[in-house]
Amino acid sequence: MAQIPEIKGSSVKKLLRKRADSSHKGDNGRLLIVGGSAEYHGAPILAAKAALRAGADLVYLYVPACNYDVTRAASPDFIVQKFEGDYFGADAASAAIEFGKTCDAALVGPGFGRVDSGAGEAVEGAIEMLKKLHIPTVLDSSAIFALKRIKKFPLDQDVVITPHQNEFTNLVDRDMKIDEDDTQSIILLRSIAMDLHINVVLKGAVDLIASDEGDVVKNRTGNSGMTVGGTGDVLAGIVASLLAQGNPGFVAAQGAAYLTGEAGDMAYKKYGLGLMASDVADDVRG
């Protein structure tokens, strides 16, 4: 296999959709974020902050009632709605789908938690959204496993998933680490992206991004301080923001990987290994 091309800042700027000077509120992306749980209230907040920093005009958060007050208090820039209970599920999906009909993209999953905790029902809710809300969608955290339950591909909407290595191997039921220097593992990554007709941002020290057409690129921005919890939520929020702004899935995935790592590098210069995911979100430059 030929060497995997690396994403460069100059190419990201050329790929991303340009904003019209004459645009109005809402023209540059209305994004729905569905996430949170009794354990993880912060994840959708981090994703929302990053989405706004990456250029989305409006961000709507749909979170469990137990997260509602803290989410509203987190920023005056968020538009927050709540569903009953501590975890998202099929019952809450109906209202989420109605909210999403006015949006340009959706992010489903930040803060849902592990499937073996309370997130099993959340997967059912994610399935409902994939089936009935036909807008570009990012699946993060346990929402990714909705793809194991979908029987017919391709889906009607552009889909990007943002797994780390363990989530990806669980999705494909293969105990294989995906490595840029391992041809067989890269073939597996390409095959999954093509077979499911999705775009994959595989998070790691080197991010690997695969398109639904079989292209694979890598991203080297970022640093070891970004192992801190929450940086994956920042990444997912940026992918969704770029989708909402009208970028194709593979372009949004590449741009988000680069911009997240770039923001992480700026945060590292200020805080070193003590950086937090909120620092990374603050340093995103749309």
Confidence of residue 172 (pLDDT cuts 50, 70, 90): very high
pTM over 0.85: yes
Q: Residue 116's pLDDT is what?
A: 62
pLDDT higher than 60, residue 139: yes
Average pLDDT (256-263) is: 98
Percent residues over pLDDT 70 in the chain: 98
SS3 265: helix
Superfamily of domain 26-282: Ribokinase (3.40.1190.20)
The Cα 102–Cα 198 span in angstroms is 23
pLDDT the model gives residue 239: 98
Rounded CA Rg of the chain: 17
Domain boundaries defined on the chain = 26-282
Instruction: Say if residue 175's pLDDT is above 70.
Output: yes
| Cα 242 to Cα 240: distance, rounded to the nearest angstrom | 5
- Which is it for strands 105-108 and 137-139: parallel, antiparallel or unpaired? parallel
Residue (of 60, 97, 86) closest to 75 by Cα position: 60
At 119 the pLDDT is 65
Q: State residue 10's pLDDT score.
A: 93
Q: Is 97 exposed, middle or buried (0-12, 13-18, 19+ CB in 10 A)?
A: buried
| Average model confidence (pLDDT) across the chain | 95
The least confident of 36-40, 93-97, 112-116 is 112-116
